Structure 1
Amino acid sequence: MTAPQRLTDRKREAIVAAAITEFRANGFEVTSMDKIAATAGVSKRTVYNHFPSKEELFAEILHQLWASSVAQLDLSYASDRPLRDQLRGLLQAKMQMMSDANFLDLARVAIAATIHSPERAQDMVNRLSKREEGFTLWVRAAQEDGRLNCTDPAFAALQIQSLLKAFAFWPQITQGQPTLDDASQADVIESAIDLFLAGYEVSASRPQQKPVA
């Protein structure tokens, strides 16, 4: 019973690896499930058994890149730990993903694939937004604990992540700039935390606002 499961896992991994190769080399539109199946050395039916559509497969690849960056990180909020330390861990994981060459290449593929297809763009946004819910949950937990003064946790979570993307994602995607070195990454992270805490951290002089119902 265990051997077939291991074989299934190996086939799934081969499909994902083949898809990464094909998407990076040829883009989203040109890459076909037939080509992915051939590169992976499996049947087209096997590919569809694992992934119902090319969009599902692409979303899974991006999810795996994110999951690998947070594999060793506890994303849950801790009331007994400094907010800065927790935010630093979250942002370091995000930065690690955005520094991955596979992720940047696939992000370019995704952007190119969605320019002429609003429906596909919305679908990919919906799928990827689910992958960032952990950050929103962390902000909401800190807000409910009385340590953050924000009425919209999702908005606040998007704000701080956008601060990273302004320096470590969009310049690399749109202008071909190199990924940031370690020192620059640390500077961007600390600056983002400074701005976020300055705007949202509850202090004795500023009482917490009630969240919007």
Structure 2
Amino acid sequence: MVAAGEDQQRGDDARARAARTKRTRTRAALIAAADAAFSARGWAATRVEDIATEAGVSAATAYNHFPTKHVLIGVVFAPHVATLLVQADRDIARERPVLEALSDQIDALARLSYYHRGLTAAFTAAVLEYTIRTERTPDPADDLDPRNVVPMIAPLLRLVSYGQESGQLRADPSASEISSAVVNLLLVRSLNHKDEPAETTAELLRTLLFRTMTPPS
């Protein structure tokens, strides 16, 4: 026989699992609705309240999952960058020639910006708005900063650092400075040149990076 306490525990566990499942589904619905809204309508014209309605939940529920619109767009955009970071770490582990690895990263960034140009433009607007509001570089402790939610420069930063440490790239400028310059150029072009082919964007970014960082012959 099952003791009353054990039966109660099983009921509590089942309710907890159901609550977790509901929360996971709600979060996924909000992310999907936000992706579609930001991509189609842009940053300024998209409200969290509208996203909540499209996801079938209340605005309060949406804010319970994502405290600000800046965080929400960051969570939507972050998975695209996560795949690039995995590739960068894999290339470093294989000790792949850094110029080859960087070239592939540039191509991937340009394709991301082009094939998701509505979302990329919206993310860029969010970053610019937050930067103007705070008037500072990202504070690692600020969980609301979309630049922290989406570590856009991380893949290039790791590869450039690897290239500098191995002597394949110039030591100056710093990995942080050149990675930020490349990513900022990409983001600005996502606003000003939305329909620019990915190949054209990639060539521009590659020229900036390689001419700056390739050691003299």
- Do both share a fold (TM > 0.5)? yes
Measure the CA separation in 2 of the matches of 1:188 and 1:25: 22
| Residues in 2 aligned to 1:198 and 1:30: alpha-carbon distance in whole angstroms | 39
**Residue 147 (structure 1) aligns with:** 168
Match of 2:119 in 1: 106
* Shift in Å, 1:180: 1.2
1:112-144 per-position Cα deviation (integer Å, ceiling 9, x unaligned) = 665699207867674477332231122112211
Q: CA deviation at 1:65?
A: 3.6
1:118 to 121, 127, 132: 132
Residue type of the alignment partner of 1:19: A
Q: Distance in 2 between matches of 1:191 and 1:25?
A: 27
Describe how 1:1-150 pairs up with structure 2 within 5 A.
Answer: 4-67=19-82, 70=84, 73-76=86-89, 77-78=92-93, 80-101=95-116, 104-109=117-122, 118-119=132-133, 126-127=147-148, 130-150=151-171
Q: Aligned partners of 2:50 and 2:71: how far apart in 1?
A: 16
TM-score, structure 2 as length reference:
0.67
In structure 2, list runs of 5 or more residues that go unmatched. 1-15, 139-144
Give per-residue Cα distances to partners, 1:184-213, cap 9 Å, x unaligned.
Answer: x1x76467546644542346x6xxxxxxxx
SS of 1:74's partner is helix
Identical residues among aligned pairs (%): 23
The residue identity in structure 1 corresponding to 2:213 is Y
The Cα RMSD (Å) is 3.7
SS at match of 2:170: coil
Which protein has the larger Cα radius of gyration, Structure 1 or Structure 2? 2
Superimposed CA distance per residue, residues 134-159 of structure 1 (whole angstroms, 9 cap, x where no aligned partner): 31122112211222112311122234
Distance across 1 between alignment mates of 2:94 and 2:208? 21
Letter in 2 for 1:74: Q
- Specify which structure has the bigger relative contact order, considering alpha-carbon pairs within 8 angstroms and separated by 6 or more residues: 2
Count of aligned pairs between the two proteins: 191
